[in-house]
Structure 1
Amino acid sequence: EFEMFLFFLLCLTPFSADKVEIIRENGKSIVHLLGNVVIEDENTRITCSEASLNQTENYVVLIQDVKIVDENGEIKSNFAVYYFKEKKGYLRDSVFLITTDQIISSDSLYYNGIEEMVEMFNNVKIEDRKNNLIGYSNRGWYDLKEDEGHLVDAPRLEIIRENKEPIDVRAREFQLISNSNTFYGFDSVVAIVDSITIYCDTFSYNLKTENGTMIKPVILEKNNELKGETGQFSMRNNGIESLSVQKGWSKYYTDEGSKNIVEGDTITIIFHDGKASRIIVEGEPRGVLSLKRKVEDAGD
């Protein structure tokens, strides 16, 4: 009877292992596979150190050095439950999902191979190798078909720069769109670029064109301040090239210590070597200049 069952099982789900045990549990036959386990169906290949295969329910429990490979990429973990028919799996303990451009890791992960979706929990990390972008959070989703991800629960992003500290961006939620090389940050956004800190409601950035937009930005650079209803910025050579706001207000200090306050429909600040070098006000410009008083020598 067991030989007939094993033959039937092999026809349905081809597998190999160093040792095979078949056990009857509650009227069901469970196949235990031990050592160098390989399980394959038409589009999926699974390897691990130990597995328990429930052919009746069409799922398998996988233990240690788990690797699941299908058309979406490769998933690694130390524990998994995988359903063949639904192409769904739950994985935990050092989970890594590797695709052509992404490496996704987390403490645990739900995988839906048919819908090509993953949901990640705790210590989530997404490495976009194409765009030199790394995202961190405690929870996230990723659409493998659309190459689009979402990060929530204390998320932050790092834009990797050569020979410079990464650009650090924090928000309540991030949307990552790898195909268009773009990400969006929503609600309570804080972006730090060298000595410049940007606060805004919504933040977007294209990692290829190096241009971004902001809604309700407040931008600080040492004692200088720039704010407006909307804004844009551009990067060059891994640093800020220009910042521009609409319906703007700015306070800035000259090298001599004089304070200037300007308003206008559009305010643009041009940077050189990481420092503001020029300010342009367009559309009904208004301003106040406060000259620094010269302090006379006490002996004069």
Structure 2
Amino acid sequence: MDTLLTHPLLQDPAFQSGIAPLLTALAAGLLLKRAPWYWAGITLVGGFAVTVALTVGFQFSPLSSTRKIILLGFGAAAVGLALDLYPYGRRWLPAVLFAAGAGAALWMLWPVLQRRGGSAFWMLALTAPLYAGWCAAAFEGLRGQATRLASGAAALALGTGLCALFGASALLGQLGLGLGAAAGGLWLISVLGREARLGSVAALSAGLLCGLLGVAATVFAKVPWYSLAVLALVPALVRVPLPLWLPRLAQGFAVFLPAAVAAAAAVLLTWQTAGAPPL
């Protein structure tokens, strides 16, 4: 087992945050695609979990900010599953999830906030929860719209991961890219075959993870705050109405491309500020 874990392929960052989560999401998504409720969304978390296993592992002590993000992502999946199993009384859900995402960002950043004072404290204490809360609530609004949800998750996660890499945080970059690769697997399943059923499991976990990874990349790396402002457009761009007569594959590209352009713009802004990633 130790020999297998130290195999060069498993140590390759491209495999850890690209091939492995993509194949995991594709395999699990195909198996769960026709399952009741919205179980296919679990594959997004499964693909992300593979990247976690191959990079930082599942040891949560000491509880660093990165481990908090991972823990909160899995917790969001559990909450999302509960929301899928009990899909009633959702009137106030966006506001509740916004508050929950904001609280998650504050908990993740609390050690940093304790070391800041004055305007620096308030700037971080207000902007970070705003971004994380927006991502969590906005993605929940895509529940049941598999192509839009998968497109938004793939674009935002890949954009966040690349921004983190350019901002000199390889670990945050790998986690973001791993999540994006898993979302890409769900996108392929949605546009190439019968549309998968994606609910709050995928929506809430993708939204919260993208939000927290983006905030962490701004605080712990060199990602400028205005890159997050551009990335925040992604959940809105995937809602653009499309003609119903378009084939599903064309719809998938039409939804994904505007979001990908916004994500690419955020990466470009980060590159102009931070320079080339450390390779």
Q: Give the structure-2-normalised TM-score.
A: 0.22
- Considering Cα pairs closer than 8 Å and 6+ residues apart, tell me whether 1 or 2 has the greater RCO: 2
Higher helix share: 2
Higher strand share: 1
Larger radius of gyration: 1
